[in-house]
Amino acid sequence: GLERVLRPGRIGRLALPHRIVMGAMHLGWENRDDDGRALAAFYLARVAGGAGLMVTGGAAVSAAGADVPGFGVLDDAAFRDRLRRVAGEVGAAGGLLALQLFHAGRYARPAADGPRPVAPSAVPSPISRLTPDALPAAGVARIVEDFARGAHHARDLGFSAVEIMGSEGYLIDQFLSPLTNRRDDEWGGDPQRRMRFGVAVVRAVRAAVGADFPVVMRMTGDDLLPGGTDRDTVAQYARALVAAGADALNVGVGWHESPVPTVQAVVPPGHWVPVASVVKAAVGGLPVLASNRINRLTQAEAILAGTTLDLVSMARPFLADPALVERSRAGRPVNICVACNQACIDRSLVGAVVSCMVNPLVGREADPGSGAAPAGTDPTASAELPASTDPTGSADLPMPAEPVIHVEPVTRAGPVVRVGAVAGSRAVAVVGAGPAGLRAAHDLALAGHRVTVYEADREPGGQFRLACRVPGKADYAETIRFLTAELTRLGVVLHTGRPVAGADEDLLRRYDGVIVATGVVPRRPDLPGGALPHVRDYGTAFTDDALGRRVAVIGGGGIAVDLAHLASEPGAGPPRQVTILLRGDRLAPRMGRSTRWAVLAELRRRQVTVVTGVRGLRVDPDAVHLVDGTGAARSVPADTVVVAAGQLPADALVRTVRRVGVWHRVVGGARDTVGLDAVRAIAEGHAAALAF
């Protein structure tokens, strides 16, 4: 049950419909010159999906506080006008939106002609690789006033609350920590004086908004930095924030520069809850929010049941599924955030517009049906494969009454309920039930088309069926489960164990359109000894329960890293000895910035060996022989050799659909494996559905 999580809550005078708060996320289009339309649409979609209190991405209280160029600054009247529209529309729809008041301090990465970053002391930032200017005392007092002015704006613009951004290592944290506050004046020198800035900000914000306006303080419960703020100071600080007027404390964990992963998939869900509990113990009755790496309402329920915490903040899960709360309430499948960070945090880190791997609609809420390619997709994606027939001209082609199935097993034949009553609905075949094909089928069915999916494998899922075996990636199976459940609900027929090949021209002719989403095949480079029985490609290795004790992985991309992670997972018996052999000198160079270091640290912890600059590979029955980057000949003992040296498009069907002359699109790995990732594949599936 979800009794606790769905019970109404309260922050100050603000009544909340349930115990979930949507945490702040910087989206990258806060400052788009569209009168706030896209931003309002993003929040309205979440309101419609049952979100209670939502916190906006940061709004800088001054130009120097902006995180990246293009960040919204509250002194900018045009930005405030957009916010007024957003707050007004969300309020009119019954939503609750808190404005987050933000100052990046030394993390700011200004444009060349932007203001210099400022901080308590001139301590270089590993995030911006800049050294900030140390603030004079008068400058500190001015920033306190900036926060107060920002809070006043928030109330005036029609927001329901404010959240003060005091976590993640931004300015307020920089004052609190002895690592970044080296002052010896009223704003630093001992814990009491280091706390003073955050406390002064809360007091000033409270004075600006009055007694009845809800003020949430986002604070760091544990900065995860050696020599950082100690636990006693955190507890004292929390009490001081409450005394200064905070109505609730939202507890973050870690700074952006902390050497400990906090939100990556390698972090077990709910891992950081005890940090919030320590803060709760310090402040007693005041509402305290747990956050970080909580992606299901059932987890939130367990947190509320097992602790004295009052509320749970979830952020990325609302990107993945705007209807997270409503679907959970109704017991319907949820599109779970898999903590990949690929389309959200990694993009945000480089100042790009955010989306979501498993939900390509993020950022397009204002125009969900438009044919424009989603952010991050190459709009020319299918340009080399033009539609070969006019889709409207093929509407009178005979419909497959019931697709003819030649190959057993045939499972999961969908229900008979079809959504085909929609005017203009046409018949589409999607070939391939990996993430791209399933997404295309889902979006086509939502648009009212009659969709049939053919999958050669016995199960849908494609590459995600491999990924979900990797430690920390089990939730990738949820993406498949969600999409297949949605297909069933939408009346899509899914045939598994049914390849579509060159001989199926007649079958393809029955459709008005075909989406080719046949994925990839592993590349098997010509390798002396490569045909030996203990050499296998990555696809079989992922599903092979009989890997030897000494595993050599040939390849240096994300799949090789995933395999090494899987093979080195502690289990029964002595630990496996895993060696990665890569040609280049940088492992997984394309893995996202937020995730790569955490994954590589985990491999180091498991004593996975990495050999770079590998040449002259030769496999024999018990070793791989090679020349390494230093020119030295080496033999790596191995009883299993896994080749993860790239992929090739599985695109044989493309010729057939061209010959048949049916409207088609080729998406995902079947189109191109260069630079392929799941974000692109799923976005292409979505774009193809819109293009039909």
Residues with catalytic function: 170
| Residue number, 233 or 359, with CB nearest to ligand SF4 | 359
**666 token code pair:** 């080729």
CA-to-CA distance for 191 and 136, rounded, in angstroms? Answer: 19
Quick one: how far is CA 664 from the chain centroid?
30
**Nearest distance in Å: CB 681, ligand SF4:** 13
**Nearest distance in Å: CB 349, ligand SF4:** 12
Question: For ligand SF4, which residue of 21, 55, 202, 319 counts as binding (CB under 6 A)?
Answer: 319
Beta bridge partners of 188: 185
Q: Report the C-alpha dihedral over residues 253, 258, 263, 269, rounded to 10 degrees.
A: -60
Nearest to 87 by CA among 56, 113, 49: 56
If residue 522 lies in a helix (H) or strand (E), which one and from where to where?
strand 520-522
Question: For ligand SF4, which residue of 160, 291, 341, 673 counts as binding (CB under 6 A)?
Answer: 341
Question: For ligand SF4, which residue of 162, 309, 338, 559 counts as binding (CB under 6 A)?
Answer: 338
**Nearest distance in Å: CB 263, ligand SF4:** 8
CA-to-CA distance for 566 and 547, rounded, in angstroms? Answer: 10
Question: For ligand SF4, which residue of 266, 273, 288, 343 counts as binding (CB under 6 A)?
Answer: 343
Per-residue DSSP letter, 496: -
| 320: contact with ligand SF4 by CB under 6 A | yes
| Residue number, 9 or 360, with CB nearest to ligand SF4 | 360
CA-to-CA distance for 475 and 642, rounded, in angstroms? Answer: 24
| 316: contact with ligand SF4 by CB under 6 A | yes
| 339: contact with ligand SF4 by CB under 6 A | yes
In the window 354-373, what residues touch ligand SF4 (CB under 6 A)?
Answer: 356-358
CA-to-CA distance for 444 and 412, rounded, in angstroms? Answer: 19
CA-to-CA distance for 205 and 99, rounded, in angstroms? Answer: 12
Per-residue CA distances from 538 to 5, 523, 557 (Å): 41, 9, 12
| Residue number, 283 or 337, with CB nearest to ligand SF4 | 337
Beta bridge partners of 313: 21
| Residue number, 73 or 339, with CB nearest to ligand SF4 | 339
CA-to-CA distance for 504 and 377, rounded, in angstroms? Answer: 31
| Residue number, 65 or 435, with CB nearest to ligand SF4 | 435
| Residue number, 279 or 315, with CB nearest to ligand SF4 | 315
Considering only the stretches 1-9, 301-309, 341-349, 583-591, report the one whose residues sit in contact with ligand SF4 under the rule CB under 6 A: 341-349
SS3 content of the chain, % helix, strand, coil (to 5): 35, 15, 50
**Nearest distance in Å: CB 479, ligand SF4:** 8
- Amino acid code (one letter) for 583: R
- Amino acid code (one letter) for 59: A
| 264: contact with ligand SF4 by CB under 6 A | no
Q: Are 63 and 112 in contact (CB under 8 A)?
A: no
Place of tokens 């940061």: 58
**Nearest distance in Å: CB 354, ligand SF4:** 8
Per-residue CA distances from 195 to 200, 224, 241, 297 (Å): 9, 18, 9, 34
**Nearest distance in Å: CB 196, ligand SF4:** 36
| Residue number, 319 or 657, with CB nearest to ligand SF4 | 319
| 344: contact with ligand SF4 by CB under 6 A | yes
| 31: contact with ligand SF4 by CB under 6 A | no
| 447: contact with ligand SF4 by CB under 6 A | no
Residues in the chain: 692
Q: Are 24 and 55 in contact (CB under 8 A)?
A: yes
**176 token code pair:** 């609190």
**Nearest distance in Å: CB 339, ligand SF4:** 5
**Nearest distance in Å: CB 346, ligand SF4:** 8
Considering only the stretches 76-84, 158-166, 332-340, 527-535, report the one whose residues sit in contact with ligand SF4 under the rule CB under 6 A: 332-340
Beta bridge partners of 100: 58, 163
| 288: contact with ligand SF4 by CB under 6 A | no
| Residue number, 40 or 337, with CB nearest to ligand SF4 | 337
**Nearest distance in Å: CB 299, ligand SF4:** 15
Question: For ligand SF4, which residue of 224, 337, 598, 662 counts as binding (CB under 6 A)?
Answer: 337
Considering only the stretches 123-131, 316-324, 457-465, 638-646, report the one whose residues sit in contact with ligand SF4 under the rule CB under 6 A: 316-324
Question: For ligand SF4, which residue of 162, 340, 483, 517 counts as binding (CB under 6 A)?
Answer: 340
CA-to-CA distance for 233 and 310, rounded, in angstroms? Answer: 22
Per-residue DSSP letter, 540: H
How many chain residues interact with ligand SF4 (CB under 6 A)? 14
CA-to-CA distance for 258 and 251, rounded, in angstroms? Answer: 16
| Residue number, 170 or 464, with CB nearest to ligand SF4 | 464
Q: Which residues bind ligand SF4 (CB under 6 A)?
A: 316, 319-320, 337-344, 356-358
